Amino acid sequence: MLELQDGVDTWAKAAPVFAALGDPVRLAIVARLCKEGPLPTIEFKQCAGGVSRQGITKHLHVLEEVGLVESDRVGRDRQWRLRARQLAAAREYLDWMSARWDQRLERLRAFVEDGA
Amino acid sequence: MDSDRIEKKIVLKAPLERVWRAISDSARFGTWFGAEIDGPFVAGKVAVGRIAPTEVDAEVARMQEPYRGLRWQVVVERIEPMTLFSFRWHPGAVDPKHDYSNEPMTLVTFELAEVEGGTSLTITESGFDQIPLDRRIAAIKGNDAGWAHQTRLIGKYLALDDQG
């Protein structure tokens, strides 16, 4: 478990991940990978109306640099997939939402069991 | 683990009718949930209110305090007396500057049944897979205990990184 005093380095390391997700095309790419699993480069064309294949490749490399995606060569193309850390974020989100329902349910319990 | 839905099941030591009212009556719902809701819940209609710190738990109320007055909104879906209440909403929609209206909503369902010693309540929230990833991260970041969760998130992220 990290504590806040673990310092600036830790935070600085995470910042590019959030920054990389700040672009709508890259976000669309990540969303598709999240939903559909590994995909070849060609599949991302519809994520980016009007963006060239080179443009898409550039976006994929930005995501790769911050460690959000990785790729394997498949014939003349590349197959892209999300890295585990990204899935951890999605899982963390659900854990958090789940904990919030636990809190709300305890309040409901107090309300109906103790309340007049 | 199912990434699309959350399910919670509890037995409340209270009669079915009281639990039903606590959930389907918007004023009572707001009391434990922590919102001030305008008007009653009506199937198919939007219910609007504001976040108002819960009266049930002082510590939670303190955590909710910074969000006091923030718009709270659900679209009521089904109201089946003593049995089922459901609504759709934008989970973790706490950024007043962000327009959530074009984003997908999750469906929250309360199912009730009379059991020995009280009332069983099952809450499910589904549709998380449709919520944009940046929104999920922002929800963790922007929340009451945001910093603690943020550090956990980044801790996990770095741990995974170490494992390759």
- In this prediction the ipTM stands at 0.77
Q: Inter-chain contact B147–A2, Cβ cutoff 8 Å?
A: no
**Whether B133 contacts A30, CB under 8 Å:** yes
Residue A63 φ then ψ, to 5°: -65, -35
User: Among residues 90-109 of chain B, which lie with CB inside 8 Å of chain A?
Assistant: 91-92
Q: Is B61 on the interface with A (CB under 8 A)?
A: no
CA distance A56 to A46: 10
- Tell me the range of A60-69, B48-57, B125-134 where mean pLDDT is highest: A60-69
pLDDT score recorded for residue B121: 94
Per the model's pLDDT, the better-predicted residue between A79 and A5 turns out to be A79
Identify the H or E element spanning A40.
Answer: strand A39-40
- Hey, is the C-beta of B128 within 8 angstroms of any chain A C-beta? yes
How confident is the model at residue A5, as a pLDDT?
A: 39
Give the separation between CA A99 and CA A34, rounded to whole angstroms.
23
* Residue B65 confidence (pLDDT) above 80: no
Task: Please give the pLDDT value at position B162.
Answer: 46
Q: Is B58 on the interface with A (CB under 8 A)?
A: no
pTM, 2 dp: 0.63
Q: B13-17, B59-63, B66-70, B120-124 — which is least confidently predicted?
A: B59-63
Residue of chain B nearest A114, judged by CA positions: B14
